[in-house]
Amino acid sequence: MFTGLIIVLLVTVVSSSNNKIPREDTVSPRMVDPYQHAVELLSKHPLIDGHDDLAEWLRGAVKNHLSQVDLSGHVNGSQADIPRLLKGKLGAQFWSAYMSCKSQYLDATRTFIDQIDVIKRFVAQYPIFKYATSADELHNAFVTGHIASLIGVEGGHAIDSSLATLRQLYDLGVRYMTLTHTCDTPWADTCSIPGPPRHGGLNDFGTRVVKEMNRLGMMVDISHVSATTMRVVLNTTLAPVIFSHSSAYALCDNPRNVPDDVLQQMPANGGVVMVNFYPNFINCSPNASLSQVADHIDHIKKMAGVDHVGIGSDFNGIEAVPVGLEDVSKYPDLFAELINRGYSDEELIAIAGENLMRVFRKVESVRDSMSHIPPDDTLIDPQPSETCRPDF
């Protein structure tokens, strides 16, 4: 009798267990609107854009007279202002200090400093911005409700082949330098001049520039350089690199974009390719779409891995924009597209800014490990008479 009762009880327990109500955390999550989900995600995790040329726009539009522009309202002609930055959920911006290659061998250093000055002035003028020079400061600015504002120099001609000037730019707050723009420097090759690389990518002095940037803790930006320069830099640098605003060569064979073999080297280097929005680099034509920008993200993810993708819009430095990505208010639309393509929250957070933060912290770690190394006081070999630099 007791044996039968035990069997009945066991059957009852098993039956009850098999029919129990699922726990709340096993229930499928409610479907949410992709755009709203993107907004919520970017509200909690910083979106870091690697490149915006607002300072260049200010120089062209108002000759850096900030009293003539109110960034707190809609600014006609600009692709960025504070209302649109807030709508776009931007967490941090590398503002580009840029002067064209026409300034090389002339007044490049002075005019780059002009642009650093105007960035610092508009950041100080508007309370929503908070100036940052380190990964920790960037993070702290975001968590206190600010748009972290950092400075990148676009073009190695800014230093006039002087490692001392490079060090002073770091002291002024510059945290990355693009090694070239559309001209070769006396030590590095651009992608914009056809024919064999003049310096084989980098000459000896160019190697010293990269390693001094490593020692300082300044990110090495290899947007704008030739493919040969990209490869040489990756074999030279002691720290991860960035492409502050470049896309995938396989999808648009513009030399400004990154070839697949270079993308495949990114995991070993640890760097990040921050996707550019310029239609000529996205679709090799004056027209492109938000979906095609997402295609470049897909391709870089496929070649390099999701840990090596970021965002580098090039807003205010591009005269044409993709349909759907017309200005800085549109970042959530791009992330909504990635959600529709099946990207996980973890992947979205990485692309938005976590990848760049990892690079930034590693660059700072390499700097700290090199603190025992004295500044490099090497001078570049004498250059042709096109330069007006003093002769030591």
List, for residues 204-252, the tens digit of each pLDDT value.
999 999 999 999 999 999 999 999 999 999 999 999 999 999 999 999 9
Q: Point out the catalytic residue in the list 154, 184, 221, 347.
A: 154
The pLDDT of 195-202, averaged and rounded, is 94
Catalytic residue among 56, 307, 314, 337: 314
- Which tens digits make up the pLDDT trace of 291-331? 999 999 999 999 999 999 999 999 999 999 999 999 999 99
Separation of CA 301 from chain center: 15
pLDDT at residue number 32: 82
- Model confidence at 9, pLDDT cuts 50, 70, 90, reads very low
Beta strands in 68-204 (DSSP E): 90-98, 129-131, 147-154, 174-178
pLDDT at 14 over 70: no
pLDDT at 391: 61
| 52 carries an active-site annotation | no
348 compared with 391, residue with greater pLDDT: 348
- In the set 49, 52, 53, 189, the catalytic residue is 53
Could you tell me if 214 and 235 are in contact, meaning their C-beta atoms sit under 8 angstroms apart? no
pTM for the complete prediction?
0.91
Residues facing residue 212 across a β-bridge: none
Please give the Cα distance from 97 to 116 (Å, whole number). Answer: 6
Q: Is 299 a catalytic residue?
A: no
**Residue 387 confidence class, pLDDT cut points 50, 70, 90:** low
The DSSP secondary-structure symbol of 247 reads -
What are the C-alpha distances in Å from 208 to residues 163, 184, 215? 8, 16, 10
State how far the Cα of 210 lies from the Cα of 212, in Å rounded to an integer: 5
CB contact set of 169 (below 8 Å; sequence gap of 6+): 112, 116, 153, 158, 159, 177, 218
- Active-site residue identified among 45, 51, 146, 296: 51
- Of 157, 224, 296, 299, which is the active-site residue? 224
What is the rounded average pLDDT of the residues 99-105? 96
pLDDT over 90 for what percent of the chain? 88
Catalytic residue among 45, 146, 245, 299: 245
Average pLDDT, the chain: 92
Q: Which domains does the chain have, with CATH numbers?
A: 32-369 (3.20.20.140)
Residue 154 appears among annotated catalytic residues: yes
Q: Is-catalytic flag, 224?
A: yes
Beta bridge partners of 220: 177, 241
- Residue among 138, 158, 162 at smallest CA distance from 149: 138
Annotation marks residue 199 as catalytic: no
* Options 139, 157, 181, 308, the catalytic residue: 181
